[in-house]
Amino acid sequence: MVFVSGLTESGMKIDKKDQTEHHKKMFELSDTLVKELKESDIIIISAPIYNYGPPATLKAWSDLAARIGETFRFKPNGRREGLLKNKKAYLVITSGGTKLNSEEDFLTPWLKFILNFFGIDQVEIISADQMALDYEKSIREAEAQIDKIKV
């Protein structure tokens, strides 16, 4: 995964003439990720809770996908608006000991916020949390949640 660096403004904007080799790689991957999001009606993200938050690669994905004029825009009043409308996301969240949606879970609310920021407001969560405490129970409950999904 390429990490966002060397930008001076939000929304991943930098003139091509001012791009370094790192920027070029970053924008190439970003363009691919944005294209995938735009072309998908359903997005499935599977992520573990690492030390109460998102893995670095998921954070890098969100940074690369946050593109002004592509996945969000600024309205004249300065408020942000997500541009990825009419999409649904399924989040499969796992954890060893952290209970989903507890005070210790910083991944789930952050990821829902990011998707809403992009305009994706239909977000369904499948949890397989606290797997270190009772692995079989966590898997059974996750499978039951999946069985209830109506596509």
Return the domain boundaries, the chain: 16-147
Bigger pLDDT: 39 or 2? 39
Dist CA 84 CA 117 (whole Å): 9
Predicted confidence at residue 8, as pLDDT, reads 56
Kindly report, residue by residue over 22-74, the tens digit of the pLDDT: 888 888 999 999 999 999 999 999 999 999 999 999 999 999 999 999 999 99
Number of other CB atoms surrounding residue 150 within 10 Å:
4
Three-class secondary structure of residue 75 per DSSP: coil
Residue 92, strand partner residues: 46, 126
pLDDT value at 111 more than 60: yes
Average pLDDT of the chain?
92
| From the candidate CATH numbers 3.40.50.360, 3.40.50.720, 2.40.110.10, 3.30.1220.10, the one assigned to the domain spanning 16-147 | 3.40.50.360
Cβ–Cβ < 8 Å for 49, 94: yes
